Amino acid sequence: MQTRHWRLLFGAGLLGSVILGFLGDTAPVYIWDFALFFAIFGLLGCLLLSYLAKGLVSPVLDRPEDFYSETDTEGDWSTQTPAARPDADAHRTPSSSGEG
């Protein structure tokens, strides 16, 4: 058979399967037999895990609003490097300043 015949046969089988699916007994037996059950279950599970993770991690990561204040220089690395200090020239040795 040619490829066209196989495609027609597959399409007819698929269409027949869909039609027979609507004609059959559609009363759900279990909760997961309902349409879109797994999509809704997955969405609710994802939302639940997101809120649960936020609730567990938020107390650890939350900081006060003024945590990074203007007067805080502890995290300012530019003042801690030797080259940025005002007295940087006083700490240089002759070999590091390029002088002989």
Who contacts 78 (Cβ-Cβ below 8 Å, separation ≥6)?
84
Strands (E), the chain: none
Model pLDDT for residues 67-81, shown as the tens digit of each residue: 776 665 565 555 556
DSSP helix/strand/coil, 94: coil
What is the rounded distance in angstroms from the CA atom of residue 23 to the CA atom of residue 52? 43
Cα four-point dihedral sign 46, 52, 55, 56: negative
CA distance 40 to 51: 17
Q: Is the full-model pTM beyond 0.85?
A: no
Average pLDDT score, the chain: 76
Q: Residue 27: helix, strand or coil by DSSP?
A: coil
CA neighbor of 24 nearest in space, from 32, 16, 36, 14: 16
The larger pLDDT score, comparing residue 100 to residue 33, is at: 33
pLDDT beyond 70 at 35: yes
